[in-house]
Every structure is written in structure tokens, then in C-alpha cells.
Homo-oligomer: A and B are copies of this chain.
Amino acid sequence: MINASIITIGDELLIGQVIDTNSAFIAQEMNKAGFAVTRRVAVGDDYEAIKTALNEEKKHSNIILITGGLGPTADDITKPLLCEYFGGKMVVNEEAYANVQNIFENIIKRPFTERNKKQGEVPDVCTVIQNKRGTAPGMIFFETIIEVEKIFVSMPGVPQEMKGMMTDDVIPMLQQKFTSAHIGHRTLLAAGVGESTLADLLINFESNMPSNMKLAYLPSYGMVRLRLTATADNAIENNKSLDENFSTLQILVKEYLVTNEDIPMEQVLGNLLKAKSKTLCTAESCTGGYIAHLLTTMAGSSAYFDGSVVSYSYKAKEDLLHVTKQTLETHGAVSEEVVKEMATGALQTIGSNYTIAVSGIMGPGGGMPDKPAGTVWVCVGNNKKLITHKFYFRFDRELNIRLTAINAMNMLRKFVLGDES
């Protein structure tokens, strides 16, 4: 299998100023196209560091994809470095030059200075990738090492420009060059189960998988994603084998299965409600609106999400959700009784089909001997039926909030699935 290294260049990556999203995009596209990214390296805007990375990665990989360091300022040294590295000299590329000139004179209308003119130059030993979204051209270099041809591709670090070049130019060029193998993935989401319990459940499945198949466990916030990956020359056979194994996998984890798509819990719940033409509201105390936030990160969520009451204070619980003072005083805000009244109040005042109500202590303060920090009551249901569950999370505030939200949405998802109304 043809493998690839990604080299990202920039000081900002090494001081943690910027999260490297370029690498994730490049890896995704390469993987979909049937190339294996086996290493990702980030180095600073430093001559020796970049050269060392080039020397090392060409030993590891057939394809070396480079982003960053192509700007016009003094700290952008990738272009002259590559020119020297491959023994070329800088020449004007007419098309690239015209593109830069057009951008400065006609689009951003700033002086077309000497510094900017240099953006139209490229090493005479490269194949140029014209930049349709910015000034810096991309470059392709070839080097044959012990009869194996290595391909180096240099792209700008601006995500928009890099993405365009990858999709329009680099992937098609690589696919033409290498008749690559087919790589397929199937991903499911499981909740209410730990990684190790799943692994025990799947021991036989894993040992019986075809040798070209891998199963990955990807845990996050109280859920585990399971991803099957298989590589084969024949795409049709590969997909068939993946589908068969994925069916078996889904049956094995049926009890915990949330979805057989690679989507988050809030989207699973949203899709379910949309399919049933039902609506939802939330009554949130300890999660402080986080469940509503997750639901509304999905475009089009207004089709099934009506709104939320974030009742942090006693007064808000009483005035907006009609929780009675007596219930609050008798049982305390973190109680089954209060969370049920919150749910009923939300259904009445907002008028949705379903609701999620939560009340708990997220910590670090606020815990009591009988209700330590991390204690959460959740109630889900509709006008006919409410179900409740008490959780105890023992993590930090942020994680307790996330776990409460995920588990509460999963409770409602199961409720809706079992609801015949």
C-alpha cells in the first residue's frame, strides 16, 4: 500500500496557538482515496528543522504532503528551501504571476510590491499547482531514491487554499499516479457501556475478522465509537465484506447501539424526532443550557427543537416551570420529585411532544453528604409518561456537564424509540 507523511510547517503549531485542522483534512482525503497516512509531523519555521523532516519522511513514505510557510513574509521559508533542496533556481511562472497581480490590483486593491511579485516565482524543478483561492502557488517535486519515486507536494497553510488544491489537483494526480487500493470504513456509536466491556463482548468477532480488517475503539464522553476499516484491491468485494462484518458487529452490540452512522448523539436524537415529526424542549438546571446548545449546533434543529428553560435559581424553577416551593423545600432542588415537576412544567409551558429535565450538582462545590458533587437526576418523557434516573458522575465540572447531557439525550432517545404515541 502506498503510504504518505504529512509535514505541517509553522511556529504557531509548536506553541499551541493554533490547532492543526489541516492535517485532519488531508488525512481524511488521503484515506478516502486509498492512501495510508502513516506519519504526521509538525515543525517550526526553521531551516534545519524543515530539512530534517524532509530527509526523515522521505525514508518513511512514498508521498510527502507539506503545508505552510509559503507566505510573503520573512518567516515563510518553505519555497526557497525546497528550491535549494531539489537543486533548482527560482523563475517567474507566468500564470502564477498573473494570478498574484490580479489579486493585488483588482481584488484586494493594495500595492503590488516587490515582495508580492515574488509570490509569482517558483523553483524551475517543480510542477506548479495554480492557486485558485489565493496568491501562493503549490508545487510538486519528484525524487527517485533507490529506484523508488518519491512525490513531494507543497501547499499553502491557509485551510481554504490547501483544501481546494487537495481536492482539485493533488488527489486526482496521486490517484492517476498510483492505482491505489480501496479503503472502506464503517462506524457505529455505542453508549451506556465501557470500552473494556465492549472488547470482552467482541473477542470472538475480532479474532474471526478477515486479516485485511481492523476494529478501532474510539471512546468519548461516556460513549464509544467502533470503527471497522478494511483495505483491498477490489472495491466491490471490500464493501461487501465490510457490510457483512458490520452487520454482525451491530447485532453483537445491539444492546448499546445508538446509531450505525458516524454522527453525534444530538444528531441521532434530532434525526429520530424529525422522522417522527415530533418536537422537544429541555428544562435544565445543572447543565445550564448545554443540552439545548448541543441540539442547536445542528443546522435545521428548529424543525424539532422548541426551546429550553435554564432554571438555575429556585425562583426560575418556580416561576417558569411551576415547580412548587413545597417540593423544593421538602426534597431539595436535586431530587426525583423536582426533576419530574420540571419536566411537567416544561411540557406545559413550551408545549413540545417530549422533554428532558435535569437537576444535579456539577461540582466542585455544592455537594452534601447524601448528595455528593456529581449527583444528577434526569427525567425524560411526554405528557403520558415520565421516567427518571439518578446518575453519579465523579469527574470535573466540565466533564460532569458533558456526561449528563449525553446520558440524558440517550435516555430520551430510548424513550422515543419505545413510544407508540
Interface range on chain A (Cβ under 8 Å from partner): 35 or more
Cα distance A302–B363 when bound, in Å?
12
Q: Are A31 and B15 in contact (CB under 8 A)?
A: yes
Q: Which residue of B lies closest to A296 (CB)?
A: B288
Is there a chain B Cβ closer than 8 Å to A219's Cβ?
A: yes
Q: Are B315 and A289 in contact (CB under 8 A)?
A: no
Q: What residues on B are CB-neighbors of A115 within 8 Å?
A: 196, 199-200
Known: A39-B49, A56-B56, A397-B297. A18 touches B24 (CB 8 A): yes
Which listed residue, B300, B312, B366, touches A296 by the CB 8 Å rule? B312
Q: In the complex, how many angstroms separate the beta carbon of A54 from the nearest chain B beta carbon?
A: 13
Question: Which residue, A108, A309, A394, has most C-beta atoms of chain B within 10 A?
Answer: A309
Q: Are B195 and A71 in contact (CB under 8 A)?
A: yes
Q: Are B24 and A20 in contact (CB under 8 A)?
A: yes
The dominant DSSP class at the A interface is mixed
Q: Are B19 and A40 in contact (CB under 8 A)?
A: no
Cα distance A214–B21 when bound, in Å?
25
Is there a chain B Cβ closer than 8 Å to A152's Cβ?
A: no
Cα distance A41–B296 when bound, in Å?
35
Cα distance A350–B282 when bound, in Å?
17
Cα distance A27–B13 when bound, in Å?
8
Which listed residue, B31, B196, B299, B398, touches A16 by the CB 8 Å rule? B31
Q: Are B288 and A292 in contact (CB under 8 A)?
A: yes
Known: A16-B23, A301-B288. A38 touches B44 (CB 8 A): yes
Cα distance A198–B350 when bound, in Å?
46
Q: Are A307 and B312 in contact (CB under 8 A)?
A: yes
Cα distance A1–B302 when bound, in Å?
54
Q: In the complex, how many angstroms separate the beta carbon of A71 from the nearest chain B beta carbon?
A: 6
Q: What residues on B are CB-neighbors of A264 within 8 Å?
A: none
Known: A15-B216, A39-B43, A206-B74. A306 touches B312 (CB 8 A): yes
Q: Are B310 and A289 in contact (CB under 8 A)?
A: yes
* Shortest Cβ-Cβ A-B pairs, 4 listed: A288-B296, A289-B289, A16-B28, A289-B292
19 more A-B residue pairs beyond the given contacts A40-B41, A287-B296, A288-B305, with a C-beta to C-beta distance below 8 A: A11-B216, A13-B24, A14-B36, A14-B40, A16-B25, A17-B28, A39-B42, A73-B217, A75-B215, A279-B313, A281-B316, A284-B289, A288-B292, A288-B308, A306-B315, A308-B310, A309-B320, A319-B349, A320-B350
